[in-house]
With several copies, the nearest count.
Chain A
Amino acid sequence: MSKKSFRAALNEALHQEMAADERVIVIGEDITGGVGGDGVADAWGGAFGVTKGLLGAYGPDRVLDTPITESSFVGAAAGAALTGLRPVVEIMFVDFIGVCLDQVMNQAAKFRYMFGGKTTCPMVLRATFGSGARSASQHSQALYPLFTHIPGLKVVVPSNPSDAKGLLIESIRDDDPVIFLEHKLLYDKIGEVPDGVYAIPLGEARVLREGKDATVFAYGRMVDRAEEAANVLARDGIKVSVVDPRTTSPLDTETILEFAEETGRVVIADEASPRCGMAADISALIAEEAFDALKAPILKVTPPHTPVPYAPSLEEAYMPDAARIADAVRRTMKYQLSVK
């Protein structure tokens, strides 16, 4: 166990799985960086440095730079996954899924089903996501609701370094296509990360704290903000549970319902766009299956239904913060059930 950044934890996961299994290969734009140049090799190690050092350790046959043609190389990852490899393919920003969704949605996700269970497609698609880096509308989306909507995909949204590592290892070993989304503002986050190899099952929520007054569900960068809110509320004597489901698909419905039932008051803090988003998805689950236990409306704390703006003053207003989460919890606490 030692302190590592989210980035380093991911890098370690890739190293360990590539060392353990020859079939694991890594594909993406600039994942080494410098091909064809007269300077240093592996100059980038990916746009965010996550794949740095893999080239030196595993060579260019297993660490493949690509032209800027996401459809072809994401599709190639899917085709390779059908035929014996276990590719980890990176698209730099999840926003770029627009140019290659077909290979994910209609190909990788559906092979096993369409072909009657005759094959597996063990690939991982890694991408950064999220707002807060002043990257504007085309480089800041969350988009996991899109993937969550598509049957056949698994979707992982880690919130801290040790989860990131364990979930990535599990994703690489998983025989289904996995979308693995890394919030760009988490890369420098430091945490305790075991040095050894470990896998965290997909579909198991992590409970960060238990409090009986209300539950806050959150993914990715929102988890820290939920914790922050919980700390503030604790000072006022309001004890909230904070639950990070970690994967949106499969979803740990059991833990979610358990906490919804136990606390009866629910806030879902999510960075994705609100319409047909994850906050709505979890809310609807609870409204159908834990209705009886609800003591208050289920509150969603999300950005508005707008693209992500560039200017700091706007982007700060866009993203839900701890204050908005705490406020929602307070509103749910105040709510008095009228007699029906």
Chain B
Amino acid sequence: MQLTREELLEAYRTMKKIREFETRVNAEAQAGRVPGSTHLYSGQEAVAVGVCMALEDSDYIVSTHRGHGHSIAKGCDVAGMIAEILGKETGTCHGKGGSMHIADFDVGMLGANGIVGGGPPLACGAALSAKTLKSGAVSVAFSGDGAFNQGTTAESLNLAMVWKLPVIFVIEDNGWGEATSAEFAVAGNIIERAKGYGMRAEKVDGLSVSDVYESMRQAVEYARAGNGPTLLHITTERFFGHFNGDVDTYRSDAHKADQRKNRDCLVRFRQTLISGELLSAGELDEADSAIVTEIDVAVVAARAAKEPDPSTLTTDVYVDYE
């Protein structure tokens, strides 16, 4: 399906927003202003954006520890996100969650997750709500190649088939789970493993946002029509180390340079847009600078925001906690 100019520009904007956001988070972290650690999404933008472009606000996503990109693509407010990461009361979770627990129920973002494999069962549950309440919504479980091995993921694939749930399993295969390669850790083949459950499954080039979008669009259509789940095995690139403190010596410098040079989904998309005369360099530059400004404003505001008041330590444990 052909994307309009506006849709392409929006996709570019969101990818750029994620990239810029992560660049600034990394800078804040290096300056010692991020209290915890963060897992940067840079390099994988085409996945989050291609996936979420195919979704409505009323659809659900369940994210991972590497959740900034998913959150932004699903429509979370970046000002709240950066404030959350800096541990401020203006943060998305009022400072209680931090980078790994960003959630925004208004846009169907059901939460990042610090537990590898924690998300797929929850995504099945959201899909069950959609099915039971006949809302027509679909639900997406983002998982990494590492998370794909967790028993919870395997169980969820089975449950989704048994209950015929409108859920899409998006496996973002960046080749690594922390410092362990997928080549070592993932036996066999992700697509074959999904097909073993009788599940519709497709391999997708995660460097192409339009490929991701198109595969996702079909999966959503399939799910909304009541046909059940799909698994998308999307190959992608993790530019940084596993977390902001990881020096990443297990990958050669040559590998990392090559990644940035030849396998950058944002650069590729920009080139495609320009060479295909879909958008001009000027238009894209303009988008870029608007985003840089937006993120900068957000960062400055987050720095200035107050830390949560210690009296809030014991609130929101229970609905009726005193």
Q: Interface on A for B, CB 8 Å cutoff?
A: 23, 25, 29-30, 33-41, 43-44, 47, 61-62, 64-69, 71-85, 87, 95-96, 98-99, 102-103, 106-107, 111-120, 133-139, 151-152, 154, 174-176, 250, 304-307, 309-314, 316-318
On whether the beta carbons of A310 and B181 are closer than 8 Å, the reply is no
B194 at the interface (CB under 8 A from A): no
Q: 1/0 contact trace for B138-175 toward A, CB 8 Å?
A: 01000000110111100110110011000000000000
Please indicate which of the listed interface residues A35, A38, A79, A119 has the most CB atoms of chain B within 10 Å of its own CB: A79
Residues in chain A near residue B97, CB distance under 8 A: 114-116, 136-137, 310
Do most interface residues of chain A lie in helix, strand or loop, or is the interface mixed? loop
The answer on a CB contact under 8 Å between B35 and A120 is no
B181 contacts A36, CB within 8 Å?
yes
The 5 A-B pairs of least Cβ separation, nearest first, read A79-B125, A75-B121, A36-B181, A34-B250, A310-B98
A-B contact pairs, 22 of them (CB 8 A): A34-B179, A35-B179, A37-B179, A37-B181, A43-B179, A66-B162, A68-B117, A73-B159, A79-B128, A102-B152, A106-B114, A106-B118, A107-B113, A107-B115, A113-B316, A115-B96, A118-B103, A134-B35, A176-B318, A306-B313, A311-B91, A312-B307
Given A69-B158, A117-B316, A311-B96, residue A44 in contact with residue B101 (CB < 8 A): no
B200 at the interface (CB under 8 A from A): no
Q: Could you say which of A61, A78, A134 contacts B122, with CB atoms under 8 Å apart?
A: A78
Contacts of A112 in B (CB 8 A): 316-319
CB < 8 Å neighbour of A68 from B89, B123, B149, B319:
B149
Q: Which residues of A contact B135 (CB under 8 A)?
A: 84
A253 to chain B, nearest CB (A): 12
Q: How many residues of B contact A (CB 8 A)?
A: 89
A236 to chain B, nearest CB (A): 26
A310 touches which one: B87, B115, B116, B149 (CB < 8 A)?
B87
List the A side residues contacting B84 at CB < 8 Å.
310
Chain A residues positioned under 8 Å from B2 (CB to CB): none
Question: Contacts of B75 on A, CB cut-off 8 Å?
Answer: none
* Docked complex Cα distance between A107 and B100 (Å): 13
